[in-house]
Amino acid sequence: MKLPEFYYHNPDVVALSRDLIGKYLFTCIDGDLTGGYIVETEAYAGVIDRASHAYGGRLTPRTQTMFAQGGVIYVYLCYGIHEMLNIVTSSEGQPHAILIRAIQPTEGLDTMLARRGMDKLKPNITKGPGSVAKAMGISRKINAESLQGDTVWIEDRGLTFADEEVAACPRIGVDYAGEDALLPYRFYVKGNIYVSKPNK
């Protein structure tokens, strides 16, 4: 079943990032249903996190979605090419977000293959945040969309991973964040073939 609104109001974005591992993410874009379960996330902890777009309370046209009440998505363009999907959490004015870095696809494989321009299934179809967004049909057009609607949502289907199956380590590609780059805010399922980069 769809995660309830209050799930996203939790002020502990790091704990939520861990909890999202194993939850099912779905999109229904242009009538095509696609989905899978989350195997890799990263937490971005609001105004005190130098790796976050909202560090220091930076409120701009781009980041204002992060300041919304938890339960919507934040989509932005990175490196001019890749769109990234984040889950906004916590309360209004607290710019917490969780980057979805990888999923294990279970639904709508044909649609995902077509969107990715691939002819057969390979792990990199949804490995890495840019790949997830592309395979799921997510773009900036649905920035700030609610997770309670019928375009994009997350379900709990009872799949869980024990703590010893989930690794916590520093985030990827945030070297500019100084000491905050070392925080163990990245979570992933050990050994899962859809997880990007260091994986053991």
Partner DNA sequence: TTACCGATGCTCT
Partner DNA sequence: GAGCATCGGTAAA
Q: Does 50 bind DNA (CB under 7 A)?
A: no
Instruction: List alpha helices for the chain, DSSP H.
Output: 13-20, 109-116, 129-136
Question: 152 with 73: CB under 8 angstroms?
Answer: yes
Burial letters for 172-183: b for 16+ Cβ neighbours within 10 Å, e otherwise? bebeebeebbeb
Q: C-beta of 127: minimal distance to DNA in Å?
A: 6
String of contacts with DNA for each residue 13-42, x by CB under 7 A:
-----------------------------x
Q: Which one of 36, 108, 128, 137 is in contact with DNA (CB under 7 A)?
A: 128
**What Cα–Cα distance (Å) separates residue 148 from each residue in 27, 76, 151?**
12, 20, 9
Stretch that binds DNA, among 21-29, 74-82, 146-154, 155-163 (CB under 7 A): 74-82
Q: Which one of 21, 129, 186, 189 is in contact with DNA (CB under 7 A)?
A: 129
Q: Does 162 bind DNA (CB under 7 A)?
A: no
The four Cα atoms 59, 64, 68, 72 give a dihedral, to 10 degrees, of: -150
Cα-Cα end-to-end distance for the chain: 31
Q: Does 77 bind DNA (CB under 7 A)?
A: yes
State how far the Cα of 119 lies from the Cα of 116, in Å rounded to an integer. 9
Q: C-beta of 48: minimal distance to DNA in Å?
A: 13
Q: Which one of 1, 30, 31, 81 is in contact with DNA (CB under 7 A)?
A: 81
- The DSSP bridge partners found for residue 81 are none
Q: Which residues bind DNA (CB under 7 A)?
A: 42, 44, 51-53, 58, 60-63, 66, 76-82, 84, 86, 97, 99, 116, 124, 127-131, 171-174, 176, 196
